[in-house]
Structure 1
Amino acid sequence: MSDAEPTSVERARALLARHPVLDGHNDLPWALRKHRAYDLERLDIAQDQSASLHTDLARLRAGGVGGQFWSVYVEAELQGDRAVAATLEQIDCVLRLVERHPDRLRLAGTAAEVRAAMADGHIASLMGAEGGHSIACSLATLRAFHARGVRYLTLTHNDNVPWADSATDEPAAHGLTRFGEEVVREMNRIGMLVDLSHVSADTMRHAMRVSRAPVIFSHSSSRALCDHPRNIPDDVLAALPANGGVAMATFVPTFVRQETRDWLRDYEAALGAAGIDADDGERVRAFRAEHEAEHPCPRATAATVADHLDHMREVAGIDHLGIGGDFDGVVSTPEDLADVAGYPNLFAELIDRGWSEEDLAKLAHRNAIRVLGDAERVADRLRATERPSVATIEDLDG
């Protein structure tokens, strides 16, 4: 009697052993700051941390993760020197994580280093700064972060910065200011990826016009399928092939399922009508439990995320897709993508939809590594003819 055919999940695990995931965004460093003030012994990711985190080493292995952009995010309430210092603390956290777990993690700053780490069975560890407030309007600070290993900058977080508009704030610059354009050009010159997650649609379009290197969306999905300002409009997706960039689909339930987004808006309205301060944690938790008992929240699944990837592939093409789960940066996750061990469930869904191994390998990591290498080549060319910019926001935006 022949052995039973492998299940789709078993096939997905085998595929990810050959073509591991390079995920565009994981907020573990900020979670370590919040939970244990960066005490890596008290919250050791070599141990099972499923009670408090989406991420630990065992679950990364189970999920087929071979590379990770660790977000060195700091909240927008931190501005100026405080934001710079906190970003350096985040960078230090990643560097200490890698130093603490040399058998599993390896620092990577180039496409070649990512490939070498994966080939050796390590998780290639890169860094991405989430929010332009981190650089405090200083191109020298931008260069210093790059020298410390940061390989992308998300131009904004949830609030505008003085030189670029966020997706979730009121328009001010209607894209980039002149200094914002200079930030993008300097990022191109040093080889730092321009990340357009979190920015407004106008900022996306403006940055893609200015950038001389491929851009990324480290954790954004399709606005056509879920009308959230954090997602990517179809015209921007359609422009990605000409730019050469990659859109890394996220798993955030309110970004991928319209019914979940609508539920959240209704819940927030009910919370406000009840006169409960959103910062009053105990009352909010009690109210939400009661509200959900009467009005269950629609759940996203791997199939929901696969719907976005199907659409994004149709609009942008398979060469411009990746994965950016946003684990440890969100409260809720899709049912079968609960943590970093869940990637095989998404790839199993795509296998069942007829995606080829070649297409799945591109999605898993090939496209992301290719964009990283393309940005390096652009930087090599630009540094041969351009000097570091000494422009200031006062010079350009006055």
Structure 2
Amino acid sequence: MPVDTVPVDQQSLHVRSVVAETHNDLLMAVSARPPAMWASFFRERWLPQLVEGGVDVQVLPVFVESQFRPEGALRQTLRMIECAHVLAEGSPDAVALCHDGQQIDEALALGRIALVLALESMPGIDESVELIPTLHRLGVRVASIAHWGRTALADGSGQDGTGSRLTSHGVEALREMERLGMLFDISHLGATGVAHVLEIATRPVIATHSSARALRDHHRNLTDEQLRGVAAGGGVVCVNFLAAFLTEDARSATIDHLVDHIEHIAGVAGIDHVGLGPDFMREVNEDLTPPCCEGFSYSGIDSNAAVPGLEGPRGLPLVTDALVKRGFSEEEIQKILGANVMRLFRAELGRPAHDRPAHGLAQDGPVEGRERPEPERPRP
């Protein structure tokens, strides 16, 4: 990547950039508390981290753990969505739950963090695709249809050996999401399912937390062919920070491994199609199982192994610093940090199929760096 002729002030660049973080399971941690604590726990525990990390746009996935499936999946889905609304209402000076690009822009103009609701694998839906509009009415704007295993809609990446495409209900779910203006998330989807989606999708898709399989051969990462497919449709691939997906020896992962994945995806898909999807599991695990259990394993990966300094969102300025040192230009770094995701959100989020720019691309271009008002947000 070309190096700017003028030295880059990393701290200033991070502050001036829109930082969009497309996967943080903090709702799992917050909703595990009694409802009366939801707003205060978020404000005291998570909001200061987001502020310190310079996060401007935070996607909040609703992930339903196995103990709630199948009978309690829909109830837990609704409970976590309610949690998102409660925590937003509890910090109206600092965050805003947003349904489209315009609302995100309005939140940023007021110095607030824009929150976007997402579903991870839709276990509460099963075959009842007719419930997707209900969840859309509740504010959900991004969704995937599988996790590690099999669902009524598709197989997750842990089932790649089946070679399965989307089920008929999965195709129906994709069409319904496209109609409503919900972004389809291919992270966790099986390889054949990804190919199926890229074959039939009529709107851009997003990978909210996936890294490069060429650098770390794990089924959760995307191949170069998949990266090119997402880019060809106008979508964005947001790099997962989880150490186990960056290098085989997770305990030796460094920020250079992360930047390697960013650089590879930018080189294959193009600089306009890469973003950040950290998946800060270590911080979430600490909140769910205090004190955090050393060696905790999830689906065969060590989810407690984190890149030093990137255990949680407050470390995000380190990514900007590392990108500067690697030689990315200011414009490229701003695209990676959030401008690419914002372009996609502006063009697609909450916009019905009849009300969108041609080819799903924004008309006003990427987000430019800008001076923003310094909001009065709670500090630790």
TM-score by length of 2: 0.82
Instruction: Specify the SS of the correspondent of 1:69.
Output: strand
Q: Tell me how far 1:378 sits from its aligned partner.
A: 6.6
2:26 is aligned with what amino acid? Answer: L
Q: Does 1:123 align with 2:121?
A: no
**Conserved? CA contact 2:214–2:223, under 8 Å:** yes
Q: Which residue of 2 aligns with 1:148?
A: 138
**Counterpart Cα distance in 2 of 1:41 and 1:210:** 40
Residues 190 and 205 (structure 1), Cα distance of their counterparts in 2 relative to 1, 3 Å cut:
same
Q: Which residue of 1 aligns with 2:60?
A: 70
**Counterpart Cα distance in 1 of 2:336 and 2:191:** 24
**Counterpart Cα distance in 1 of 2:312 and 2:176:** 35
Q: Does 1:321 align with 2:283?
A: no
Q: Which residue of 1 aligns with 2:315?
A: 342
Q: Which residue of 2 aligns with 1:233?
A: 223
Q: Which residue of 2 aligns with 1:45?
A: 42
**Conserved? CA contact 2:184–2:205, under 8 Å:** yes
2:140 is aligned with what amino acid? Answer: V
Q: Give CA deviations for 1:164-213 in whole Å, capped at 9, x if unaligned.
A: 11101364461212221111111100111100111111111111111111
**Counterpart Cα distance in 2 of 1:251 and 1:134:** 27
**Counterpart Cα distance in 2 of 1:43 and 1:331:** 25
Q: Which residue of 2 aligns with 1:303?
A: 256
2:246 is aligned with what amino acid? Answer: V
Q: Tell me how far 1:314 sits from its aligned partner.
A: 0.4
1:147 is aligned with what amino acid? Answer: R
Q: Which residue of 1 aligns with 2:24?
A: 26
Q: Which residue of 2 aligns with 1:356?
A: 329
Instruction: Specify the SS of the correspondent of 2:31.
Output: helix
Q: Tell me how far 1:141 sits from its aligned partner.
A: 1.3
In the TM superposition, 1:71-220 aligns within 5 A as 71-80=61-70, 82-169=72-159, 171-172=161-162, 174-220=164-210
**Counterpart Cα distance in 2 of 1:255 and 1:37:** 33
Give the share of equivalent positions with the same residue, in percent.
33
1:307 is aligned with what amino acid? Answer: D
**Counterpart Cα distance in 2 of 1:76 and 1:364:** 32
Match of 1:245 among 235, 253, 258: 235
**Conserved? CA contact 1:40–1:97, under 8 Å:** no
1:21 is aligned with what amino acid? Answer: V
**Counterpart Cα distance in 1 of 2:133 and 2:350:** 17
2:118 is aligned with what amino acid? Answer: G
* Higher mean displacement: 369-378 or 141-150: 369-378
TM-score by length of 1: 0.78
**Counterpart Cα distance in 1 of 2:127 and 2:244:** 31
Q: Give CA deviations for 1:281-309 in whole Å, capped at 9, x if unaligned.
A: xxxxxxxxxxxxxxxxx322221110100
**Counterpart Cα distance in 2 of 1:63 and 1:378:** 29
Residues 119 and 250 (structure 1), Cα distance of their counterparts in 2 relative to 1, 3 Å cut:
same
Q: Which residue of 2 aligns with 1:392?
A: none
Consecutive unaligned residues of structure 1, counting only runs of 5 or more, are 1-5, 50-55, 261-297, 384-398
Residues 93 and 376 (structure 1), Cα distance of their counterparts in 2 relative to 1, 3 Å cut:
closer
**Conserved? CA contact 1:70–1:128, under 8 Å:** yes
**Conserved? CA contact 1:23–1:68, under 8 Å:** yes
**Conserved? CA contact 2:99–2:350, under 8 Å:** no
Q: Which residue of 1 aligns with 2:249?
A: 259
Consecutive unaligned residues of structure 2, counting only runs of 5 or more, are 1-5, 286-302, 357-380
Please tell me whether Structure 1 or Structure 2 has the larger radius of gyration of its CA atoms. Answer: 1
Residues 46 and 7 (structure 1), Cα distance of their counterparts in 2 relative to 1, 3 Å cut:
farther
**Conserved? CA contact 2:100–2:345, under 8 Å:** yes
**Conserved? CA contact 2:31–2:38, under 8 Å:** no
* Higher mean displacement: 232-241 or 218-227: 232-241
2:72 is aligned with what amino acid? Answer: R
**Counterpart Cα distance in 2 of 1:338 and 1:14:** 22
CA RMSD of aligned residues (A): 2.2
**Counterpart Cα distance in 1 of 2:241 and 2:170:** 29
Q: Tell me how far 1:147 sits from its aligned partner.
A: 0.8
**Conserved? CA contact 1:84–1:136, under 8 Å:** no
**Conserved? CA contact 1:248–1:322, under 8 Å:** yes
